[in-house]
Amino acid sequence: MNLPSPVTAYIGLGSNLQNPAAQLECALQALRKQPGILMVKASSFYRSKAVGPGDQPDYVNAAVQLETTLSPIGLLDALQSIENTQGRVRGEIRWVARTLDLDLLLYGDQTIQHSRLQVPHPRMTERAFVLKPLLELAPTLRLPDGQALKPHLDACAGDDVSLLPNGSTDTWP
Ligand code: ROI
């Protein structure tokens, strides 16, 4: 029997509650332990101003590149189970503060329209907090339609996203 060949996927990580940097470290550990997932590399951590309505604490954001034999929905299930384990509360209201967000950004060169999943992530090209860590991992990365991502990052360069200095999270709100 042939084994499924691994696909390269990119995940965006974000947290702005309950020690966000520790939440991201914990999620990286969980991803490393997940059957069917091989972590290739993780970006630096970035501090970013919350995008969206209301007054929220700053976020910590990062991205990872992985190889996976899971299907897109299998990978989504794995990501959601890690979010749930880390206390993510799924409510009715979008864009509220959260302990952990794991977004499937890209899955090989596939475009996916499913009731639970859209790939590429529909808002990734507008968000410096996604693009900065992602392009740190893969500076010449392109969308499945061939569009380069770097010009999108240049277009949102005014967004407040900066490298998080090591050890600076002890006093996080
Ligand atoms: N804002 C930032 N800076 N980082 C995020 O990860 C993030 N995630 C979200 C919303 C609420 C859109 N804002 C964010 O889901």
Residue nearest to atom 9 of ligand 1 (CA): 95
From 164, 166, 165, 142, select the one nearest 153 (Cα to Cα): 142
The pLDDT value recorded for residue 54 is: 79
- What does the pLDDT profile of the chain (173 residues) look like in tens digits? 777 899 999 999 999 988 999 999 999 999 999 999 999 999 999 999 999 877 899 999 999 999 999 999 999 999 999 999 987 676 656 666 778 999 999 999 999 999 999 999 999 999 999 999 999 999 999 999 999 999 999 999 888 999 998 755 555 55
Q: Contact 132/161 with Cβ under 8 angstroms?
A: yes
Return the SS3 of 13: strand
pLDDT for res 8: 98
- Number of Cβ within 10 Å of residue 117's Cβ equals 14
> Looking at residue 166, what is its pLDDT?
72
Choice from 60, 129, 131, 164 to test ligand 1 binding pocket (greatest atom count within 8 A of CB): 129
Gap between the Cα atoms of 15 and 67, Å rounded:
23
Residue from 59, 130, 159 whose mutation best tests the ligand 1 pocket (most atoms within 8 A of CB): 59
Q: Report DSSP state, residue 100.
A: -
Residue holding tokens 């929905």? 73
- E strand residue ranges, the chain: 7-15, 37-42, 46-48, 59-68, 101-107, 112-114, 117-119, 161-163
CA atoms within 13 A on the CB side of 57: 17
Any ligand 1 atom below 6 A from CB of 59: yes
Could you give the count of Cα atoms lying within 13 Å of 5 in the half-sphere of its Cβ?
1
Domains of the chain (ranges, CATH numbers): 7-171 (3.30.70.560)
Of the CA atoms within 13 Å of residue 116, those in its CB half-sphere come to 9
